[in-house]
Amino acid sequence: MAGRVGPGQLAALQKDTAHIRNICIIAHVDHGKTTLSDSLVSSNGIISDKLAGKVRFLDNTEEEQTRGITMKSSAISLMYEGLLTPSERKARGLDSTNDDVTVPYLINLVDSPGHVDFSFDVSTAVRLCDGALVLIDVIEGVCAQTHAVLRQVAWQEGIRPCLVLNKIDRLIHELQFTPVEAYQHICRIVEQANVIISSMIRSDKLDEEQEIDVSLLDDDDDQTETLERQWMFSPAYGNVLFGSAYDGWAFSIGYFAAYYSKKFDTPQAQWRQGLWGDHYFHAKTKVIRSTPWTSSSVPMFISFILEPLWSVYKTMMEPLPPPTRLATDGTYLEKLRQLTK
C-alpha cells in the first residue's frame, strides 16, 4: 500500500497554483472509470490497492453502490509527482539530461457518470476541468457515449483529451489475442477515435463555409488539416495511454522510449516516433526504418512493448508448481525475475 498523503500536504500544495490541475475521467458506461479512480485513490494510500475496483470509493451514495454505476460526479484531491515542464526546466537551468526531475502536483480528480441519462452531470464536470481522460474499453471499442464525450470535451469545450485504452489485460486472458492481433485491434480503436475527431472538425467547417467567401476555401482547407493534426490521437504524440485499471498499471510510449533509448544508447526522440506505427528496429546496427528488415520482422510496438507484456501475463497465468518443486527447482522464480527486470 502506498504511503498515506495527509490533509496537511494537500493544503500546502494548494498554495502553488501553477501545479494544480483539475482532471475529469469520462467514458461510456462500464469502461472502467470508477476502477481507475479507485486505483488513483489507492496511490495516495487512502484505500488499499487490493481494494481498487471493488470498493468504488467515489460512488458515495447508497443507490450508486447498489446499482454499481456512477450517477453523480464526485471529486477528490490527490498528490502526484509529475515531471517538470520544458519551460520549468529551462527556468531552473536544467537541460534534457535532467528530464526525470519531478515536482508535486495537486490533482483534483473528478469521476463522472458514463450513462447517457446523466450526460448533464458530465457537462458540469467538464467545464470545471483543465483536462480529461477519455477511457475506452479495448474489448468494446468506441461506443455511443464515447462519441458524445469526445464531441463535448474535445470540440465544444476546447479541452485537450488524453485517450486511455483500458482493460488491455482482457485481450490476453479473455480474447487470447497474440501480440500481433492485439496491435491490429488497438490500431483500429485509435483510428475510430480519430475518425470522430476529424468528422467533428470537418462538420463544423462545412457549416462555416456556407457563410464565407468561396475564394477563402483553400486557406480554410489548410486550417482544417492543421486542426486535425493538433487534435488527432497518436501514442507518438503522448496523448494515448495503454493500461489496466483493475491491475493498476498504465504506460505511454514516452516511458518505453526513455527506457530503450538508455539501453541502446540512441536518441529518445527516435524511439518515441519509432515505437508506434510501421517502424522496425535492427538490433546490431541500432537503425530504425519504415520497411521490415526480414520477412519475420514485426513493428517495434509489438516486439518492444506487447511481447514482453504478454510474456509476463502468460507466466502469471501458468499453474503454480507445487511447493516442493519450488523449493528444489528455481526455474519458475528465475523466469519471473527475468521477465520483470
* Residue-wise pLDDT tens digits, 228-271: 777 899 999 999 999 999 999 999 999 999 999 999 999 999 99
DSSP code, position 118: G
Exposure on the CB side of residue 66, measured as CA atoms within 13 A: 3
| SS3 label, residue 284 | coil
Q: What pLDDT, on a 0 to 100 scale, did the predictor assign at position 271?
A: 94
250, 251, 252, 257: CA torsion to nearest 10: 180
Mean pLDDT score, 75-102? 78
Q: Is the dihedral of CA 217, 200, 74, 27 positive or negative?
A: negative
- Does residue 68 register a pLDDT over 80? no
| SS3 label, residue 34 | helix
- Does residue 203 register a pLDDT over 90? no
User: For residue 313, what pLDDT band results from cuts at 50, 70 and 90?
Assistant: very high
Q: What pLDDT, on a 0 to 100 scale, did the predictor assign at position 185?
A: 97
In angstroms, the CA 252 to CA 162 distance is 11
203/175: higher pLDDT: 175
In angstroms, the CA 255 to CA 251 distance is 6
Contact 163, 241 (CB under 8 A): yes
In angstroms, the CA 34 to CA 64 distance is 11
Q: What pLDDT, on a 0 to 100 scale, did the predictor assign at position 79?
A: 94
* Domains of the chain, CATH where assigned: 7-251 (3.40.50.300), 255-339 (3.90.1430.10)
Q: What pLDDT, on a 0 to 100 scale, did the predictor assign at position 126?
A: 86
Q: What pLDDT, on a 0 to 100 scale, did the predictor assign at position 279?
A: 94
- Does residue 151 register a pLDDT over 70? yes
**Predicted structure pTM score:** 0.84
Mean pLDDT score, 6-22? 91
Give whichever of 39-48, 161-170, 277-286 has the largest mean pLDDT.
161-170
User: For residue 171, what pLDDT band results from cuts at 50, 70 and 90?
Assistant: very high
Q: What pLDDT, on a 0 to 100 scale, did the predictor assign at position 327?
A: 55
